[in-house]
Amino acid sequence: MKPTASLDTRCYQAALYLCPPAFRREFSPEIVRVFHEARHDTQLASPGAGLCAFWVRMIADLALTVVRQWLRTAWPFIVVISTLYPLMAASAIAKFWRRVPAVRPRATPDADVIVLALLTAVVIVVIAATIIFTLWFMRPLLYRRRT
């Protein structure tokens, strides 16, 4: 009969879902086993305060592991590039818009509608560009061979 895992071991196992899927599939069972054994040893050696210190170390280690593993997947680079390009394009459009002498109605109720329509168009362009560039940079990741 398999012993049941403690609540904090199950919480730690659930927290491993913050890691990238490939890393989690490969290392999660071993990480959970080592965590469970270390927790058991700590509980036998010094219950109470020792267990609190153990949890602090494990939470810090898990946070560091999550950040390191996501940085290794190149996803942060893809997100940054996919976000920066449309923002730079929107900035260029805004600078261009300020220099163009345009006659805009000032005192009519339609002025607010026109400004709202322009802002909506800019937001749609930024969102569309973000989606397009994210898919463009993800293409090599989506079609690579899984080993």
With CA atoms as reference, report the closest residue to 39 among 10, 19, 73, 71.
10
Same domain, 60 and 14: yes
Domain count, the chain: 2
What is the average per-residue pLDDT within 80-85?
Answer: 77
The answer to whether the beta carbons of residues 76 and 45 sit under 8 Å apart is: no
Domain that holds residue 135: 75-143
Same domain, 66 and 87: no
Q: What is the pLDDT of residues 21-55, one digit of tens each?
A: 889 999 999 999 999 899 889 888 887 788 888 88
1 lies in some domain: no
pLDDT of residue 9: 86
Same domain, 19 and 60: yes
Residue with tokens 């930024």: 126
* Entry pTM: 0.54
The C-alpha atoms of residue 94 and residue 126 are separated, in whole angstroms, by 12
Longest dimension (CA), the chain: 80
Same domain, 63 and 81: no
Q: When comparing pLDDT for 100 and 128, which is higher?
A: 128
Question: Which residue, of 39, 54, 72, is where some domain finishes?
Answer: 72
Same domain, 129 and 82: yes
The answer to whether the beta carbons of residues 122 and 92 sit under 8 Å apart is: no
